[in-house]
Structure 1
Amino acid sequence: CHYSFPTIGCKSAASLKPLRSVHFPNDIVFLDYVRHGELERIGLFIRARRVNLDTIYHSGMAAIHEAVLSGNLECVMLLVNHGADVHQRDEEGWTPLHMACSDAFPHIARYLLKLGADPELENDCGEKASDLIDLDNKELLELFGLAIND
């Protein structure tokens, strides 16, 4: 069998380009950068004033919550340095400190506490951040003065 393919000239090739392109809203692109810790791009978005750091997104969280859940301290620091609130609450009343404790990120919890994050704040269920610490996480337990004697 022999197949023959027609050659395409420049004019014909131009017509093969897609007629539409997809554009994502700034908030979707920004949150993707936060989730993946793309610090340079996050900084560009913030400096260009393309995003508001206090916005609660469709996920129910602000950018700082997403950064904490990613476990990326540098990303959390970048957002805070650009004005993100360490007491920002998500739609269920969780602060970044609640998330750092719940998801076992002692390095982020320590940073947030150094910045003055209030460990006494309760979420909508009446839980403090320390109530969410896994009992096997000695580093977080010690950070909150809750170390269990073996």
Structure 2
Amino acid sequence: MESEAPDRPASRRHAVIHTDGSCAGNPGPGGWAATIRILCDDGRLAEPVVLTGRVAATDSNRMEMVAAIEALKAFPAGTATVFSDSRYLVRGMTEWVRPWKSRGWKNAEGRKVRNRDLWQELDALASGREIAWTWVKGPAGHRENEDVDRLARAAATAAA
């Protein structure tokens, strides 16, 4: 990704990221996908970097989270806007993580937070960075969301 905006230091780049996760059954074989497009100095978006993966046995929430984790790992510096059709992911990162951490990773009912391992990894990857977590209705005519949805479903099918 360095070559896509060579005049801008990595810490000042902005990425537009679309993520999705899918499961063939819930739980079941899962897949995830993400696209990363760097905002160029001239205002246009670079060609997308496409990431996908699959897991033999998982659930859809974990796949949604893994898609975001892998995208942030691939774009480790700079600001980002992450688009997801997962309310679980977006609300988790914008509303729930801070209170969970303050309660020792317990939810409001005092129970252990589900998927704590992934929430902690996401929190660490987002720490110190400006990331806008944006929910999009999907699939509902949002081209980039439909692209990652198709890729995630294909990965889940391949994992079956």
Normalising by the residue count of structure 1, what TM-score does the alignment of the two structures yield? 0.27
- Give the number of the structure whose residues are more often strand, by fraction: 2
Higher relative contact order (CA 8 A, sep 6+): 2
Normalising by the residue count of structure 2, what TM-score does the alignment of the two structures yield? 0.26
Larger Rg: 1
- Give the number of the structure whose residues are more often helix, by fraction: 1
